[in-house]
Amino acid sequence: DQAHRFYGHQRTDNRLPPALDVERSELTRAHVLAFLDEWARLSGPLLTLYTSRQSWDRIMGATPMPPAQAQMFALNWIAAYPFDTPAGQPVPMDPASIALRSTPPLDRTPPLIDPLEWFEIWQHSGQGTLPGYDKFIDLNVYNGTEADLRALDAPWPRTDPD
């Protein structure tokens, strides 16, 4: 049912592949694989996988994802916040702490997930700042060239689900 609803909201003018968010505690491996099987049956576009290593391990376990499902992802978007303040603690507002959280950590990589041993987008902070914006925001870094990112912006074939 979720795959059908999600598919029904897709538009052919979307700029990036739709994202499958694998992090909610009520999700199970069976839920994720059933969604992917139905998405493939609907001939949906390739997906973006959004998750963290901790969420992935908790939901998907140690058993590798079947290759057919692993190939359904055009992008892998990993959430890992190496410089953020742990939940429940005051967030330091000194300039050095803000700069550390708001600068892509180019000398590091996020904890990767098995069997998808790469990342294209790393959400590296949930406590980032941008000039002119007075609230914390999520910040991401793309692991590729601008040409690579623009190549993802292509029409996708769509058929109506039964």
Tens of pLDDT, residues 138-152:
999 988 888 887 777
**162 has a pLDDT exceeding 50:** no
The H-or-E segment that residue 61 falls in is none
What number is the average pLDDT over the span 33-55? Answer: 90
SS3 of residue 125 by DSSP: strand
Q: What percent of the chain has pLDDT over 70?
A: 93
Q: Say which residue, 152 or 99, is predicted with more confidence.
A: 99
Q: Band of the pLDDT at 153, cuts 50, 70, 90?
A: low
Q: Say which residue, 9 or 158, is predicted with more confidence.
A: 9
Q: Band of the pLDDT at 160, cuts 50, 70, 90?
A: very low
Q: Which of 110, 97, 98 is nearest to 141 (CA)?
A: 110
How many Å separate Cα 93 from the centre of its chain? 27
- Report which residue type is found at 48: T
Global pTM value? 0.83
The CA-CA-CA angle for residues 154, 76, 104, to 5°, reads 105
The H-or-E segment that residue 130 falls in is strand 121-130
Q: Band of the pLDDT at 29, cuts 50, 70, 90?
A: very high
Q: CA-to-CA distance for 29 and 23, rounded, in angstroms?
A: 11
E strands in 44-120:
47-51, 73-79
